[in-house]
Amino acid sequence: MSRYWITGYRTYELGVFKESDPKVAVLKHALTLLLKERIEQGLEWVITGGQLGVETWTVEVALAMKADYPELKVALLLPFANFGSQWQPEKRRKLAQLSQQVDFFAAVHQGDYQGPFQLKNYQQFLLDHSDAALLLYDPEYEGKSAYDLAAIQAFQKTAPYPMDYVSMDELQEFANDFEERRAEAQDQGF
């Protein structure tokens, strides 16, 4: 697997309204560990979108990991050209900054949002241009990623396409690991 599509919860679905929320550190910790494992298995491209939440955190984590893994490439793809234009200025700036830092940035559709068909085409584009997917998503705690899950499951009926989940229980395990590592670092004076 060389191209990995990563998506998941939006910030508001997780109740995260500030980057300083402790949940963000845990999610980035989880993404770092998951990506490291995949990089060691041959991952070349991280592919994600611009949704605030798991997708933008994925970009931040992958960009930070390039210091240790300079061969890692990051693609940020938007469903349409003016994606995020209705967001608050600080959130628009964040997306613009990330788009400048990645190895590849593009919109699947040029122009404004025209209808749900663009989002379906966007999902299909990501499926066609990746080898596997990772969803930080738990079907027991619904969110917009349910649409991505459904698209992936439909695609799996026609082609071999591995999908990894990170459930809420697994996120709790990552949170426990994060706290243990933080406590060890504090004990060692870091």
Phi then psi for residue 74, to 5 deg, are -125, 125
What count of Cα atoms within 13 Å lies in the side-chain half-sphere of residue 103? 14
pLDDT digits (tens, 9 = 90+) for 40-91: 999 999 999 999 999 999 999 999 999 999 999 999 999 999 999 999 999 9
Please state the separation of Cα 136 from the chain's center in Å.
8
CA proximity to 59, closest of 116, 98, 97: 98
| Cβ atoms of 65 and 39 closer than 8 Å | yes
Examine the pLDDT at 185 and tell me if it is beyond 90: no
> What does pTM read for this prediction?
0.95
Please state the separation of Cα 95 from the chain's center in Å.
13
Examine the pLDDT at 190 and tell me if it is beyond 70: no
Distance CA 111, CA 181 (A): 46
Distance CA 81, CA 32 (A): 29
**In sequence order, which residues have a C-beta less than 8 Å from that of residue 94 and are 6 or more positions away?**
52, 56
pLDDT digits (tens, 9 = 90+) for 97-135: 999 999 999 999 998 999 999 999 999 999 999 999 999
CA proximity to 120, closest of 151, 144, 155: 151
